[in-house]
Amino acid sequence: MEQRELQILWVAVIGYVVSGVVAIFGVVLKKAPYRFVLGTLLLGVLLLSISLGLRWERLGHGPFITLFEILASNVWSFSLIFAFAYWRYPSIRGTAAVVMPIIFIMLGWMTLSSTHDGHFPRSFRTPWLYIHVGLSKLFLGTVLVAVGMAGVVLLRRAGIGVSRFATLPNDARLDELAYRFMALGIIFQTLMLISGAIWAQDAWGRYWAWDPLETWSFITWIMLAFALHWRVTMKSSPVVGSWMILGVFVFAFLTFFGVPFISESPHKGAV
């Protein structure tokens, strides 16, 4: 990796860490400087965009191939989507205490990953790559926002930070909002599966082949459909709903960041 890309990347990481630490301490101390948190988060997004842009320019392809590229691009999309929610819905800003540690984990994993160049296959040179990957990032990002709210509900139920999360809406309202983001998530994921099938038909001559990544994506879709149906049918408590959101996120996370790197299939890494 070029020195300049790496330097900008590290400054971006510092921006994320400052933003996350201040957001978490803001919740703990009940005095969150929201503008500062949002500003440093957006600064991190901007610097990461520049670093990834320079890498894109140098390699001639986007961050779609190696584990480092996939983690970095998802840190970028996670933080951009969460920054949007943070700005647009002031009442849920306290969920940063749940979301930022997840982004920290990805940042840590990213910094430990090799920054080597990966082979960009011919089958990836299609507009469907950008459509498919963009939709997958929207799906994961919206589910992450839901996870933030679900996490607050579960922490409150566990008696952790009850007073510190007091400024957030009550559990029922958080649950309702979280499910709105899950609803957005299933739309994005459905579109992601459709665009992936179109791409697979063009690239490999079949729209479905029980490839590990596409199968686990479909399994995640079924789990998401189950969670949404469960909520309508069982009218369950926010705690049960929150556990379901966490379950879907864990499956989605393993699917997107685990399966591409343990399977031997042509459909690798393009998330």
Partner 1 sequence: MWFERIGAAVGAGVEAPRGWMRIALALASLKFTLANILVLLAAVVFVYDRGGEGEATLALVLPLSLLSINLLAAMATNKAFRRQLPLLVFHLALLAIIVLVALGRMTYLRATAEVLTGGEFTHLDRIEAGPWHRGGKDGIRFENLGFQIEYRPGLRREATQNRIRWRDEGGVPQTVEIGDQVPLIIKGYRFYTSPNKGFAALFRWEPAQGEAQLGSVIFPSYPLNRDDQTTNWHLQGESVTVRLVLPDRLINPESNDSFRLPGRHHVTLDFPWRLSSMSPGETLPLPGGRLTYVGLTSWMGYNVFYDWTMPWLLIACTLAVLALAWHFLRKFASKPWSAGEGEA
Determine, following the binding rule CB under 8 A, whether residue 218 of this chain makes contact with partner 1: yes
d(CA 88, CA 181): 13
**DSSP summary character for residue 21:** H
Total residue count of the chain as it appears in this document: 271
First to last CA, the chain: 21
Closest of 70, 80, 171 to residue 115, by C-alpha: 70
By C-beta, is 6 or 240 nearer to partner 1? Answer: 240
SS3 assignment, position 211: coil
Judged by CB under 8 A, the chain residues 93 through 152 that form the site for partner 1 are: 119, 121-123, 125-126
d(CA 80, CA 253): 18
**Minimum CB–partner distance for residue 92 and partner 1 (Å):** 9
Place of tokens 């009940």: 30
By C-beta, is 11 or 191 nearer to partner 1? Answer: 191
Determine, following the binding rule CB under 8 A, whether residue 21 of this chain makes contact with partner 1: no
Report the residue from 31, 35, 159, 233 that binds partner 1 according to the rule CB under 8 A: 233
By C-beta, is 4 or 206 nearer to partner 1? Answer: 206
Determine, following the binding rule CB under 8 A, whether residue 205 of this chain makes contact with partner 1: yes
Phi, psi torsion values for 66, nearest 5 degrees: -85, 165
Determine, following the binding rule CB under 8 A, whether residue 46 of this chain makes contact with partner 1: no
Report the residue from 17, 225, 239, 240 that binds partner 1 according to the rule CB under 8 A: 225
| Residue 72 CB burial class (10 angstroms; 0-12, 13-18, ≥19) | buried
**Site size toward partner 1, by CB under 8 A:** 48
Interface stretch with partner 1, choices 22-30, 85-93, 108-116, 136-144 (CB under 8 A) = 85-93
Place of tokens 């700005």: 87
By C-beta, is 159 or 205 nearer to partner 1? Answer: 205
Sequence letter at residue 242: S
Report the residue from 25, 58, 105, 202 that binds partner 1 according to the rule CB under 8 A: 202
d(CA 86, CA 17): 16
Task: By CB under 8 A, name the binding residues for partner 1.
Answer: 89-91, 119, 121-123, 125-126, 166-170, 173, 177, 180, 183-184, 186-187, 190-191, 194, 197-198, 201-207, 209-210, 212, 215, 218-219, 222-223, 225-226, 229-230, 232-234
